[in-house]
Structure 1
Amino acid sequence: MGISGLLPLLKDIQVNRPLSDFAGQTIAVDAYVWLHKGTYGCAPDLATGKQTTRYIDYAMHRVRLLQHYHIQPYIVFDGGPLPAKKGTEADRKKRRDENLARANVLAAQGKHSQAREYYVKCIDVTPQMAYQFIKALRAGSVPYVVAPYEADAQLAYLERTGLVDGILTEDSDLLVFGCKQVLLKLDVVASTVSCISRSDFASMASGSSGGISLFGWSDLQFRHMAILSGCDYLPSIPGIGLKTAWMLLKKHKTVQNVVRALSLEGKKKVPEGYLEAFQLAEKVFLYQRVYDPTQQMLVHLTNPPNDEEWDAETEAYVGE
């Protein structure tokens, strides 16, 4: 989930802060992060069809923790499947099915501890499970929204339009979507979070522990680096991670130049049609469809261009 290696790369600008620092703010929360983590304690029950509400108890405990510190939670749910992630979702389903089969075999052999490890890996949060969380939120008058497609784009839109002050998630993609204040690693015991502020990107000089400098880099350059390294919408060119993507962009300036140079060099195999696929992936980060709670209608994350590059295929790819 997210951009592999991005959070460790940015560890120099991650600041551990008490929840009390965010009192009076509205913080949007990725609902499925809490729901997924909540399933860890009841994975065998869920996988074998037994009734449990432990995952709801887990999520609501965190809602109440934010409220205790006078933070208004705004819970955001994933919606329908996004065409751009068809391949990613298919791979995840295949892994879940394999893990369920292994868990059932181990459970039948009486190896319940080992089986539990695989049950945890096979759980998928269903719309029915999300609805149980929604009912609990309604009972507590906690605001929420179901995104038309992915929660990430919806979270970014809420922050961009000023409806929330920051995002609480575990997904590094939010930084690629351009979010300004991303909160991670909620510690319920210490009541702290790790905060990444986009304004601190410029302080990452070449001497940083991540080994890269983002000084002077634009949102576009950062986004291109992340997509080149591989994301949910596009696998990376084999052998290219974040640091290599950063070096290539620093040297060649544009993605088009990077792809051309790699093709001429011949050391790394560039998949056929990669540049076109890259451009489609970037459109998902820029123009994915979201719900505007103020206007009560579907809109694009940002207004798409009015040119020949925006066709029906692209429209479907970012969410009809």
Structure 2
Amino acid sequence: MGVALREILGEYREEVELEELRGTIAVDAFNALYQFLTIIRQPDGTPLMDKDGRVTSHLSGIFFRNLNFLEKGIRPAYIFDGAPPDLKTETVARRRGVREAAGERWKEAVERGDIEEAYKQARASTRIDDAMIASSKRLLDLMGIPWMVAPSEGEAQAAFMARQGDVGAAASQDYDALLFGAPRLVRNLTVSGKRKVRGRSVTVRPERIDLAAVLAGLGLSREELVEIGILIGTDFNPGIRGVGAKTALKIVRGGKFQETVQEKAPDFDPGPVQEFFLNPPVTGDYRLEWREPDRDGIVAMLCGEYTFSEGRIDAGLQKIGAKAGQRTLGDWF
């Protein structure tokens, strides 16, 4: 879920069109896959599946969403999480429990015919397994889109790549990338468009957030922004009960971070969490290279193995010139 900074970032969240994001973007892969698996479902919450019962929602999202990016001049690079830090152990276990409980409630809702509740619980039960990760990487390879596995958190690696100037922004639904130091964060990249929210249709647009503008506007350093995150709660600590973003901002501005932690959570040492956000495990050993899509390989995988419609796949590929005589991928950039 990330850190709940939304309450103090309102004026710094700039809605933009996809075309305005033209350029290179490092995408938090797991975050994107969860979005695809959550959104691309049947009315009762059942994910898209092939004839053998294998989930294909993530493949549909990767293929069609990235075609849209490429057509709009966006070059994505996907960053997969590596080994989670020990600080995240409790969060991982808690999320697993939440998903399992939601899965049981989904089955119960389906049995009693409560489609709305079934859809809600199915979304909450979304999980990613090794087969999904492997098939996602394989499809990205066939599409000519680079990916890498981070030493630890994908958002931290994406933020590092953005600081290095190798990509124009980091993309994630979570605000953690700002704490990791991403100069620019793009939200809603993988979910923009028409969406059903609480039973009504809404248009979700990408948001761009500039870290320098946030820090200047709030009168904070990045270290102090991390302190706010710790007070609210992150993936690596539970936060201080009753402290939201506005209260945390007031505490940090008043120079009372340490005092508050010592008073409200005397057994908690914020040092390791601060260190992880400010100096996370990252690597400069990567190469970003976009290649021509392998049309035959994509069709063989999606249509031959996963029973996608060849007509739809071929029509999508034609948009980026994956057939002879049409524009090549390089012509889009």
Shift of 1:147: 1.6
Q: Cα–Cα, structure 1 residues 70 and 168, in superposed 2: closer, same or farther, change >3 Å?
A: same
User: 8 Å contact 1:3–1:231 — kept in the other structure?
Assistant: yes
Superposed counterparts of 1:98-247, under 5 Å? 98-186=101-189, 187-188=192-193, 193-201=206-214, 204=217, 214-215=218-219, 217-247=220-250
Q: Distance in 1 between matches of 2:62 and 2:149?
A: 16
Following superposition, the deviation at residue 233 of structure 1 comes to: 0.8
Identify which of 36, 39, 44 aligns with 1:38.
Answer: 36
SS where residue 98 of structure 1 aligns?
Answer: helix
Q: Pick the aligned partner of 1:271 from 261, 265, 289.
A: 265
1:288 counterpart = 2:277: no
Name the aligned partner's letter for residue 124 of structure 1: R
Structure 1 length normalisation: TM-score? Answer: 0.77
Q: Is the 8 A contact 1:62 1:188 kept in 2?
A: no
1:33 Cα deviation after fit: 2.4
SS at match of 1:72: strand
Contact 2:48–2:56 (8 Å) recurs in 1? no
Q: Supply the distance in 2 between the matched residues of 1:129 and 1:291 (Cα, whole angstroms).
A: 25
Alignment gaps of 5+ in structure 1: 205-213, 264-269, 296-320
8 A Cα contact 1:15 1:195, kept in partner: yes
Would you say the 8 A contact 2:7–2:246 is kept in 1? Answer: no
Q: Percent identity?
A: 25
2:209 aligned partner, one-letter code: I
Give 1:310's aligned residue.
none
Q: Secondary structure at the match of 1:44?
A: coil
Question: Alignment partner of 1:163: what SS?
Answer: coil
Structure 2 residue aligned with 1:303 = none
RMSD: 2.5
Q: Please, what TM-score do these two structures have when normalized by structure 2? A: 0.74
Distance (whole Å) between structure 2 residues aligned to residue 8 and residue 239 of structure 1: 14
Note if contact 2:171-2:185 (Cα within 8 Å) is conserved in structure 1: yes
Could you tell me which amino acid in structure 1 is paired with residue 259 of structure 2?
N
Distance in 1 (alpha carbons) for counterparts of 2:132 and 2:20: 32
Match of 2:19 in 1: 20
Q: Distance in 1 between the 2:159 and 2:74 partners?
A: 18
Contact 1:84–1:284 (CA under 8 A) maintained in structure 2: no
Cα distance, 1:134–1:271 mapped onto 2, change above 3 Å: same
1:106 Cα offset (Å): 2.7
